[in-house]
Amino acid sequence: MHFHVEIWISGDKDPSLEIEEALAPFDENEGASMGGGFSWDWYQIGGRWKGCHVPGYDSSKDENHIRTCKLCKGTGKRTDMEVQDGCNGCRGTGRALDWPTQWGPHTDDIIHVSKIPEDLSCAALIYKGKVYGWDDGYGWDKPGPKVKDMMNDLEIISGWMVTVDVHS
Ligand SMILES: [Zn+2]
């Protein structure tokens, strides 16, 4: 399962290092396990939730993620086999979307906490070594608690928030 995690960082040092440190206690590769708590075995900044800090951005329509379909070479029709919609790689459009793992992060996947959208939800918020809002039932259809609500409870008014796609 992939989960949308927001990680708070101070912004005082290299963001990738701060993210690494924030996630380290929950690393399954180092022996952490779900067992009712939060853990991960892989992550990337943005990923499936790339650009969620930016209202209106749609990662599936980002031109940087769209390539000529390899299966039909952009023609929208497979000549080597009969398939529905002409091509199973692109549904006949000739264009295919890269896998999220191939996407680079959005420039706003790391934003100042004051810019977090009101309606943004996430499966877990990691703040100063603790996990907030976590429930392993969260997913696309059950997005989790509002980031703003958790920030208000924790009185987070400074620092930065990073969108991370976490796999467990
Ligand atoms: Zn195709």
Taking the centre of ligand 1 as the mean of its atom positions, its distance from the CA of residue 35, in whole angstroms, is 42
pLDDT digits over 34-66, tens only? 665 899 999 999 999 999 999 999 999 999 999
Q: Do 43 and 14 share a structural domain?
A: yes
The answer for residues whose C-beta is within 8 angstroms of residue 167's C-beta and 6 or more apart is 1, 2, 3, 40, 41, 42, 43
* Mean pLDDT of the region 70-93: 91
The tally of domains found in the chain comes to 2
Mean pLDDT of the chain: 93
Q: How far is the CA of 4 from the centre of ligand 1 (A)?
A: 30
What was the pLDDT predicted at 130? Answer: 94
Report the pLDDT value the prediction gives residue 36, as an integer from 0 to 100: 57
Q: Are residues 18 and 67 in the same domain?
A: no
Same domain for 51 and 67, yes or no, is no
Say how many Å lie between the CA of residue 102 and the centre of ligand 1: 19
**What's the gap in Å between 96 CA and the centre of ligand 1?**
7
In percent, the amount of the chain with pLDDT more than 90 equals 82
- Report how far ligand 1's centroid is from the alpha carbon of 89 (Å): 4
Task: Looking at the structure, tell me whether residues 116 and 93 fall in a common domain.
Answer: no
DSSP assignment letter at 90: T
51 plus 72 within the same structural domain: no
With cut-offs at 50, 70 and 90, classify the pLDDT of residue 140. confident
